[in-house]
Amino acid sequence: MVKFYDLQKITAMHGAEYKRAVERVIDSGWFLQGEENKRFEKHYAEYIGTKNCVAVANGLDALKLIIRAYKEMGVMSDGDEIIVPANTYIATIIAISDNNLVPVLVEPTWEHLEIDTDRIEEAITPRTKGIMIVHLYGRNAYNEKLKAICEKYHLKLMEDCAQAQGCRAYSQKRVGALGDAAAHSFYPGKNLGAFGDAGAVTTDDDELASVIRALANYGSQKKYVFKYIGMNSRMSELDAAVLDVKLKYLDEDNRKRQKLAAYYYDHISNPLITLPKRIPDENNVYHQFPIFCERRDELQEYLKQQGIQTLIHYPIPPHKQECYRKPTGGRLVYSALPITERIHEQELSIPMNQVVTEEEAKAVVEAINSFK
Ligand SMILES: Cc1ncc(COP(=O)(O)O)c(C=O)c1O
């Protein structure tokens, strides 16, 4: 059996260090807003390459808080539009509609699976206030054209980095330091995963960081004085301590993912399967390794019979979800989305992480290549 994601094995790699970190927090008797959060925020900001990092409770909150803060700062308001790839995880879209803004869905390219920069300008209206790119499956979605569009139309460039911690863009900057603000998720299954929910915002904008920090703490910058109607979205000291240990190993873990991806690219040769385009010199951190097949469900069942666990990311695209079909669901703007729909119909994620052994990788390839 090749597991899709063996979190027990992944955790055991540095188990003793995690236990020491957790014990330190328990002994300190201090569980929120303490030294562990400060240390992790400092190290993560240094790692990403931004002036600020604000630790929050999860990735969805990180996304929501960026938009909410822009509203408090007068940069965005109800009914404004944000351009977003149509093939993202629902959280990116919820963060926009929950703030009473309108998600405008743009197709990805079939080759890269990231937002199609050539289709962004046609989606811009006088109400467009920002572009939220998503570095999906671990691959950088940023390029210079995107930056030029944001400058031309005075748009905020926001990044959803939930699936791409550690990835460097072509400029050698890491994702999370490319736009005006970035959201990160440390959900346990992410490349940098906590022992529960956790997230962060990175930004060079000091004012934005300070508004987000207040909003995540009930809207307060001073104890019992409330400047905004905020929320409670803080990272626990336990998670901050664990993440600070894990961060040291992130680049090494990502290199293992890249080695496994290279093996898959070199050895998967079944004509029924399409692999994502391999881009020389790109720094993809392979949060997932998506493969595509017209008979995807049959392939998944076949691999299961061969002992290979797989997952679909994602079976239903956001624009077809029930939550956006109800009158309470908020408005989505989009035209035909054939590429998005094809991705959702054909995508299958195969085992991709730092503990897949050579033997397991070989078994995955053999099973895929023997599918007829
Ligand atoms: C692209 C993307 N954005 C946002 C999120 C939300 O992060 P979280 O689960 O920490 O709230 C996820 C998590 O799965 C994600 O994959």
Q: Tens of pLDDT along 63-113?
A: 999 999 999 999 999 999 999 999 999 999 999 999 999 999 999 999 999
Q: What is the residue with the minimal CA distance to atom 12 of ligand 1?
A: 162
Q: Is the pLDDT of residue 288 over 80?
A: yes
Establish whether residue 160 lines the binding site of ligand 1, counting it when its CB lies within 6 angstroms of any ligand atom. Answer: yes
- With a 6 Å cutoff on the Cβ, whether 137 touches ligand 1 is no
Model confidence at 184: pLDDT above 80: yes
For residue 329, the CA-to-ligand 1 centroid distance in Å is: 19
Binding site membership of 89 for ligand 1 (Cβ less than 6 Å)? yes
**pLDDT tens, 317-372?**
999 999 998 877 788 999 999 999 999 999 999 999 999 999 999 999 999 999 99
The whole-number pLDDT of residue 330 equals 81
**What are the strands, taking DSSP E only, across 214-280?**
220-222, 225-226
Q: Which ligand 1 atom is nearest residue 61's CA?
A: 11
Pocket mutation for ligand 1, best pick of 5, 187, 231, 239 (most atoms within 8 Å of C-beta): 187
Point out the ligand 1 atom lying closest to the alpha carbon of residue 187: 10
Joined together, the tokens standing for residue 233 give 């979205």
Strands 52-56 and 199-203: antiparallel
Is residue 333 within 8 A of residue 103, CB to CB? The reply is yes
> What local confidence, expressed as pLDDT, does residue 43 receive?
98
As a residue count, the chain comes to 372
Indicate the SS3 state at residue 263: helix
- What is the arithmetic mean of pLDDT over 193-216? 98
Name the residue of 5, 60, 94 to mutate for ligand 1: max ligand atoms within 8 A of Cβ. 60
CB 290 near ligand 1, within 6 Å:
no
Block residue for tokens 């822009």: 70
Q: What spacing in Å lies between the alpha carbon of 187 and ligand 1's midpoint?
A: 7
Say if residues 13 and 320 touch (Cβ distance below 8 Å).
no
- Return the beta strands (E) in the chain as ranges: 52-56, 81-85, 102-106, 128-134, 156-160, 181-185, 199-203, 220-222, 225-226, 289-292, 347-350
Which two structure tokens, joined as six digits, stand for 318? 């956001």
